[in-house]
Amino acid sequence: MSGQLPLPDAQNKLEDLSGIVLQPGENPYMALIKACDEKPAEIQSLYSAHRTKRNAQQKQKFLASDFKELVIDQYLLRLEVPTVQPGFRDERNCLVIWARPPNHVVELAVKVQELLKEAAPSVWLMPAHRMHMTALEVAFSKTPEEIAALVTALRPAIPHTVNYPFSHRSRLVKPMISYDLSAFALSFVPASGESPLSPEPVGPVVKEGITEGDSYTYHHLRRDVFDQIQDAGIEVGSRYQVPSAHITLGRYLSDEDHDTPEKREKWIKTIDSINAWLENEVWDKLDSKFVGEWVVGQERGLDARNGALWYGGGRTIMLGEGF
């Protein structure tokens, strides 16, 4: 049974390194906002601290003298290499609210994938058309019947939620690679006063009734989506609510590219080099070839999605209006 396979997240848990302590029953996103006194600069700082601390933690693991092995995703391995277990099916059905990156963010993510692939040719890369950021995981690893019941209950609330970013616009900036022993991603932080960089929205441009500006952060959007799902009578079953805004870029399918200290050091140096390039040549740069800003909801609204949707699969229940 596929359910007996180890989960990569269980072996390499995504801890909240922001220092926020949640109270029972509290909206986890509101807790961080209150801890930051609603200040965008403080919220950005906590997102930044989380990814910086985690990268430092993971670098130590990769470069440790007693390094053991990568955390290979056994589900993805069987899907990508059918000879491992012929006839294998991923039966982990989920229900999520995704944010889809606009084209200029996809172009940046693909460029970063290309640079990483040069250092580790055997890694699995997320197809560009499947790239996404999880705004909220509603339910995880359920049966199709359980997910269908949740979708039925949630259906009346879905249009409001997926269209919400059209009128509540939050910015993400400062992309960098975040990584661990199982995967690597392009992560962002909520904006706090940075100069606008994104292409103009597709016309006609709507201004009336729009909440925008950096006082409404991506974390506020996640807070609101969480409340909307709870208000619809659905108990949110997220595995974690860490201060992270990331697009998974890829995962490891074997140890081939990382089976010696020299290869692992090359991998870390490559990541550090790309992150330096992003910071120096993409962040806050109006004349850069690549745009390092993402206004959530540009081109597409939120994507309510269910099914076996790890690795970008599943089906869309409803996609919200973009701007």
- pLDDT value at residue 206: 83
* pLDDT tens by residue, 54-92: 999 999 999 999 999 999 999 999 999 999 999 999 999
CA distance 183 to 120: 12
CA distance 94 to 89: 15
Q: By the 8 A CB rule, do 189 and 174 touch? A: yes
- pLDDT value at residue 229: 96
Cβ contacts of 244 within 8 Å, gap of 6 or more: 14, 47, 50, 51, 178, 187
In this prediction, the residues of the chain whose per-residue pLDDT falls under 50 are: 1-2
Average pLDDT in the chain: 93
C-beta contacts of 198-201 below 8 A and 24+ residues apart: 198/102, 198/104, 198/171, 198/291, 198/293, 198/294, 198/295, 198/298, 199/102, 199/104, 199/291, 201/295, 201/298, 201/323
Closest CA to 165 of 1, 321, 6: 321
Asked if CATH classification 3.90.1140.10 holds for the domain at 23-319, the reply, yes or no, is yes
CA distance 98 to 162: 9
- pLDDT value at residue 232: 95
- In the chain, domain spans: 23-319
Determine if the pTM surpasses 0.85: yes
- pLDDT value at residue 2: 44
Partners of residue 307 on adjacent β-strands: 94
CA distance 49 to 16: 10
- pLDDT value at residue 205: 83
- pLDDT value at residue 15: 59
Q: By the 8 A CB rule, do 55 and 179 touch? A: yes
- pLDDT value at residue 10: 55
Q: In the chain, count of helices (H) and strands (E)?
A: 10, 9
CB atoms within 10 A of CB 200: 8
